[in-house]
Structure 1
Amino acid sequence: MTVIGVDIIETNRIAKTINRFGDHFLERIFTPDEIDYCNGRVPSLAARWAAKEAVAKALGTGIGDVGWRDIEIVNDARQYPSIELHGPARELADRRGITSFIISLSHTRDYAVAFVMGTPASLNGAH
């Protein structure tokens, strides 16, 4: 079964949370590689937040059933965003037969949005 998830967030919300909680917030939500890649750029962090929420929705659960850092947004060799799942998120995707994700991220000064589509092996070329 193909699954989808979408999320949008105001970048200002992420900025305010970073200002209030600093590194504690960043390290609770994002992996070290995500933090390094974003390099303090709030729109990029907000887009990754939205992506994590969108993946959790596509998995059919809220973020509470998987950890924030169990969903990692990485860049592939062409610098396109992609999704790596770890721990409970990976296990949930495996149980649901989701073997790959397609992701689209976008942001402006005020908003960040993420759309994800998860597909089973039968739709992504695996047999």
Structure 2
Amino acid sequence: MIVGVGIDVVDVARFMTKLEATPRLMTRLFAEQERDLPPNSLAGRFAAKEALAKALGAPVGLHWVDAIVVKDEVGKPSLELQGSVQARAAELGIRSLHLSISHDAGIASAVVIAES
């Protein structure tokens, strides 16, 4: 059963300008293994984390670094949860997350479907 759906769209240039203007954001938003990625990938991962938060009901207290976007051997993205995000997913009875990320023409987008 679908518990939640989230979608987000990010303007890549605007997002990178914000990251450059506020260096602390990099460590607040991204796990260590995500931080050296190119702009399109960073924006896509941020969109994925925003979409995930929406699928989880956008509760207060989620930490962005508790959701990590990873890719399998063929490049399919998925989410690894820990800490605050994992606790919220467990609270909702979520057993499976589906993630799609895209970026084109300066825009990154992501959709997350959460299932019990």
Normalising by structure 1, what TM-score?
0.84
| Structure 1 segments of 4+ aligned residues over 4 angstroms from their partners | none
**Match in the other structure for 1:112:** 108
Relative contact order higher in (CA < 8 Å, ≥ 6 apart): 2
- Taking the aligned partners of 2:16 and 2:85, their CA distance within structure 1 comes to 26
Gaps of 5+ in 2: none
Cα displacement string for residues 69-113 of structure 1 (whole angstroms, at most 9, x for unaligned residues): 011111123221100111111011011111111100001242110
Q: Which residue of 2 aligns with 1:66?
A: 62
- Structure 2: distance between partners of 1:68 and 1:13: 19
Q: Residue 15 of structure 2 corresponds to which residue in structure 1?
A: 14
Alignment-derived partner of residue 30 in structure 2: 30
**Percent identity at matched positions?**
36
Which is richer in helix? 1
Conserved 8 A contact 1:7-1:51 = yes
Instruction: Report how many residues are paired.
Output: 115
What is the alpha-carbon distance in structure 2 between the residues aligned to residue 54 and residue 16 of structure 1?
A: 21
String of CA shifts for 1:33-59, please: whole Å, max 9, x gaps.
1124x1xx1111000000000000000
Which of 73, 77, 80 is the equivalent residue of 1:77? 73
* Structure 1: runs of 5 or more not aligned: 121-127
| Structure 1 position 19, deviation (Å) | 2.1
2:41 match: 44
Shift in Å at residue 60 of structure 1? 0.6
Between structure 1 and structure 2, the one with the greater Rg is 1
Taking structure 2 as the reference length, what is the TM-score of the superposition? 0.91
